[in-house]
Chains A and B, each alone.
Chain A
Amino acid sequence: MKLSNIFSRRNRILLRELVITDFKLRYQGSALGYLWSLLRPLFLFAIMYVVFGNFLRVGDAVEHFSVYLLLGVVFWTFFTEATNQGLASIVNHGDLIRKINFPKYIIVVSGSLSALINLALNLVIIVIFTVINGVHLHLSALLFPIYIVELYIFALSLAFFLSAAFVKFRDVSHIWEVLLLGAFYATPILYPLALVVKQAGSNVAQVLMMNPVAQIIQDARYSLVTHQTLRLYDLTSNLLIQVVPFLIVIFFAIFAGLYFKKHSGYFSENV
């Protein structure tokens, strides 16, 4: 696989068709159709806002808590969607892989692209919420796209690794389900990180922030919603610790790429 071939004409055509097909099929026969990909995170957000914002009042200290929470939910929804779709993508397209030769990464990328499109639409809702809530935009908002890129790279890397591993070990889907569930609570999505610092100390908060998704969500909140957001850089001045989440992302991108490349030649036999 030459790098120049990645977006060759034939591969672009194929990628496009796969994404279109995926979209058509997913919402076929449902009355609200595509709206569901917007409604799902919105409902999740609404439930959480009522439970955690109104009853448990975890967000009282946070400025614009609704936008703050929505952003976390939307980012997390994208992360689970992209990794879950990626995980199953190779096995689901087994029929295709057994019968035709084409670059297998196209399948994984196409799965992540439909999640990315959903993210884009959800971001529109975030923007609307930002305006309604009268959030004051800082210059740091310019950094916001960078965090989306980082999140996409991390989710895609995991998708590559998981999809290839899933061909060999069908337990992977269950393991990933459990890991995601645990990670959801280990990531400061529902609760502000400041709460962790107060209850369990700064060290625990730092460990939680080693998770790239946590780092991305907190940085994105800081850049767009409120500068009150606690980030890893506020918890420690040690540069070596501050770069850990980024190193994890880079490590996974390289590792997953190599792992996928090594196994992709045998998908047709094993899938």
Chain B
Amino acid sequence: MSESYEPAIIIKDLFKTFRIPVDKSNGIKQSLIRATRGRSGFREFKVLNDISFEVKKGEFFGIVGRNGSGKSTLLKLLAHIYVPDKGLIKINGSLTPFIELGVGFNPELTAQENVYLNGALLGFSRNEVDEIYDEIVSFAELEDFMSEKLKNFSSGMQVRLAFSIAIRAQSDILLMDEVLAVGDADFQKKCFNVFRQLKKEGRTIILVTHDMSNVEKFCDRVLVLDKGGILAITTPSKASSMYARLNIDDSKPADFSGREEVSRWGSGGIQIDKVSIKSAKDTISPILKFEDEFELTVRVKREEGYRQKKFDVGLAFINQDNVTVAGPNSSLVDFGSESNTVTYSLKKLPLQPGDYSVTVAIIDKDTNEPFDFYDRVISFHVISDKPAQGVVAIGGDWDAK
């Protein structure tokens, strides 16, 4: 037994700093000018600050954090793509070097040629790919398209193909960054089955993601990363509420600069300042009782020029299976033009036990365009002592004759 307790990954006292050039162009002239002026020409940016943790063998380990928290850098350090400034990275067992799906895919080659190329990056020879080729194609459900050039594939098809190849990697540890973002519901279900299978086989999986529902569905433990440091290593449900809290407690305005993983967007002007759910105890993730009173409060912050603007609030209640259970909105109500706090309440919470997240949108009453759309800004947990069926309790009267 003692052997199985050997960690798959040991990270100790890890530091990573990026040197970002002050000038955008990297030419010899700039270097010379900088040298003569005695400036380094670089701004130091500490991405990871003293990170230490261990991942057990066979564990499904999640890494979550906001944009810029350093989670992708951490993953790249694990994959030996980046060299750490200092610190220890110890990997026991073979590791799939894939950070993203479809690395090395070339749009000008056919899908078939890409399978061999991608396979080579995973360490498969031509003969070995020959053996698993049919499986890859049928799993990706792309039998009829393999002689097409990849550039004619939709992004969903590309991801399906890439995923089908990546899961053939016979390594002990798999690193994955936001892999589940694409693909239709059916394919996602297939992916989840593969994950369960990999987990059963005792492989170690590191998943970096924004999607809390996936974290709660699969992960055994979750590392919450914030501003380059470890906030906590905890259970998925706790991590999920910490993540939600991180997003809302950040007083800085949201970044609308068009990052890849947008979880918050909108035109600005009126922004969500704080979202809270009334509960008996002041925990990070409120625990509510089925059919109890429910009260959710949204506080907004108005920018100059938006003081008199009217807005609507739209909510989406999303359960752990990623299903939007209900989407109440205030479009039939007039808040007046100066309100800054909006409350949504229910006398009897109809949601069945489970974990829920709420997406909040502040919408311009005149144009219907969102000022601020905040995906899964808060989450809560519903408990019940009654037997439950379905997602919501719809009530109703029974009559017999």
Residues of chain A touching chain B, judged by Cβ–Cβ distance below 8 Å, are: 9-10, 13-14, 16-18, 21, 24-25, 28, 95-102, 168-172, 265-266, 268-269
Contact = CB atoms under 8 A, between A and B. Distances in A.
B18 interface: yes
B97 A100 contact: yes
A170 B98 CA distance: 28
A261 B84 CA distance: 16
Nearest to A169: B28
Interface stretch (B102-110, B186-194, B301-309, B346-354): B102-110
A100 B31 contact: no
B364 interface: no
Contacts of B80: 101
B25 interface: yes
Interface stretch (B113-121, B210-218, B327-335): B113-121
A19 to B, nearest CB: 11
22 contacts: A9-B125, A13-B120, A16-B120, A17-B116, A18-B120, A21-B113, A25-B108, A25-B109, A95-B103, A97-B81, A99-B98, A102-B97, A169-B26, A169-B27, A169-B31, A170-B25, A170-B27, A171-B27, A171-B29, A265-B83, A266-B83, A268-B81
A24 B106 CA distance: 11
Nearest to A98: B81
Contacts of A269: 18, 82
A170 B120 contact: no
B100 A99 contact: yes
B99 A100 contact: yes
Contacts of A14: 120-121
A74 to B, nearest CB: 29
Interface in B112-137: 113, 116-117, 120-121, 123-125
Given A169-B31, A171-B27, A100 B98 contact: yes
B38 to A, nearest CB: 20
B206 to A, nearest CB: 15
A99 B99 CA distance: 6
Nearest to B83: A265
Given A10-B123, A13-B125, A101 B109 contact: no
Given A168-B26, A268-B76, A13 B81 contact: no
A28 B106 CA distance: 13
Given A96-B103, A98-B81, A268-B76, 7 more contacts: A13-B124, A14-B121, A17-B116, A24-B109, A99-B100, A100-B121, A169-B26
A27 B240 CA distance: 51
B79 interface: yes
Point out which of B31, B79, B113, B120 has the most chain A C-beta atoms below 10 A from its C-beta.
Answer: B120
B83 A99 contact: no
